[in-house]
């Protein structure tokens, strides 16, 4: 019993001595925060403290008061140093990978005050993008500098516009001549009940600017026609078509082909949606290669005639926004020469290959 009491008494001071070093480290860290010392400098001070403790254990003889006051043995502190070194080496390895992939914000983003620069709020907002190896700082800067035009602020345009604004596309144009109606609201989620009777482009603008005040929204409250299409498209790098009539789709396609602008096109019907990227300048077909002429009346009814399940436009419209991000940043593989067809009723997706048509009257001269 006496031996146990003596052993327990000696163990307590040893734990206290270890705790003393940890408390001293915490004090150094806390003082560094109060003095607004950089994090790297605070870690350096902790490292110097650890080196000093190890030095005391190795230099002073056993039983020396200073050695006893800092643990009495170098073994524990050497283990702590080894673990810290492994963690530091791993963090540097990850940082190097990010730098090589363009994710290092300090190298990829312009200094504040210059064109294309980011505020601290924006850096925090887009942090999950910047952390992606395929996007990084350079990709987020490309999004900020991008100019995207969306045709239609309805079922497909609504989610596409919301996500283009959320991800930080610098300039977003939207053209539509419709008003918000009560029957739109079960699927066109960018519009609210209070916006009924308001032009869709202004309703969408309000919601997009509320979502992200760092983007520029340009609303065009009119119908797209051939008299304005070439001049309007010339102001943008990329076009998303979410319209529901073939006349406008053919006009959008022809204008994009003539201007050499990639076109992301989506379509809906009841429970099914489809999506593709049309860009003859990059070897892909144009829209009219795949759909050379409009179907006969009644074969392709509108959503108003055939109905559409509410969340379906959100799925396809969000996929259109993803393709836009990929084209702008160069991430992954865009749906060039591919069409995705999504069947929501049975939860099935399939992808089919599509090719340019040699007799296409719109894009034959542009195909490589």
Over residues 68-99, the pLDDT tens digits come to: 776 666 676 677 777 777 776 766 665 555 44
* 146-366 placed in CATH 3.40.50.970: no
Residues ≥6 apart with Cβ < 8 Å to 75: none
What CA–CA distance (Å, rounded) separates 221 from 100?
A: 44
Q: What is the pLDDT of residue 17?
A: 57
Q: What is the pLDDT of residue 171?
A: 96
**Does 11 have pLDDT greater than 70?**
no
Q: Is 249 helix (H, G, I), strand (E, B) or coil?
A: helix
What mean pLDDT, rounded, does the chain reach?
Answer: 83
Banded pLDDT at 108 (limits 50, 70, 90) = very low
What CA–CA distance (Å, rounded) separates 29 from 217?
A: 46
Helical H segments across 227-268, by residue range: 229-233, 246-259
Among 240, 199, 242, 239, smallest CA distance to 220 is for: 199
Query: Which residue has better confidence, 4 or 276?
Result: 276
Banded pLDDT at 261 (limits 50, 70, 90) = very high
Residues ≥6 apart with Cβ < 8 Å to 126: 118, 140, 167, 168
Per domain, the residue ranges of the chain are 2-100, 146-366
C-alpha distances (whole Å) from 222 to each of 141, 151, 226 are 31, 11, 12
pLDDT digit string, tens, across residues 140-163? 999 999 999 999 999 999 999 999
């Amino acid at each position: 019993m006496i031996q146990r009491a003596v052993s327990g008494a000696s163990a307590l001071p040893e734990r206290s001595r270890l705790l003393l070093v940890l408390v001293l480290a915490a004090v150094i860290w806390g003082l560094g925060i109060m003095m607004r010392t950089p994090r790297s400098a605070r870690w350096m001070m902790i490292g110097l403290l650890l080196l000093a403790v190890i030095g005391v254990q190795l230099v002073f003889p056993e039983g020396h008061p200073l050695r006893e006051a800092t643990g009495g043995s170098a073994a524990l502190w050497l283990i702590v140093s080894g673990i810290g070194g492994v963690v530091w080496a791993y963090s540097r390895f990850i940082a190097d990978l990010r730098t090589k992939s363009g994710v290092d914000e300090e190298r990829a983003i312009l200094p504040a005050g210059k064109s294309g620069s980011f505020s601290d709020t924006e850096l925090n907002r887009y942090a999950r993008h910047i952390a992606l190896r395929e996007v990084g700082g350079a990709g987020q800067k490309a999004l900020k500098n991008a100019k995207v035009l969306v045709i239609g602020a309805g079922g497909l345009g609504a989610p596409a516009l919301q996500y283009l604004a959320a991800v930080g596309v610098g300039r977003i144009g939207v053209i539509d001549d419709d008003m918000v109606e009560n029957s739109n609201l079960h699927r066109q989620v960018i519009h609210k009940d209070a916006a009924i009777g308001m032009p869709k482009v202004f309703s969408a603008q309000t919601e997009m600017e509320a979502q992200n005040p760092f983007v520029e929204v340009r609303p065009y409250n009119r119908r797209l026609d051939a008299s304005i299409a070439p001049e309007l498209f010339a102001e943008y790098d990329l076009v998303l078509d979410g319209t529901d009539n073939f006349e406008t789709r053919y006009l959008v396609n022809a204008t994009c082909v003539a201007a050499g602008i990639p076109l992301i096109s989506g379509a809906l019907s009841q429970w099914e949606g489809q999506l593709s990227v049309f860009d003859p300048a990059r070897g892909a077909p144009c829209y009219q290669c795949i759909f050379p002429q409009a179907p006969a009346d009644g074969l392709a009814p509108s959503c108003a005639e055939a109905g559409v399940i509410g969340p379906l436009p959100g799925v396809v419209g969000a996929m259109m926004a993803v393709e836009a991000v990929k084209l702008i940043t160069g991430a992954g593989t865009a749906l060039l020469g591919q069409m995705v067809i999504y069947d929501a009723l049975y939860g099935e997706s399939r992808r089919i290959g599509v090719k340019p048509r040699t007799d296409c009257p719109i894009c034959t001269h542009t195909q490589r």
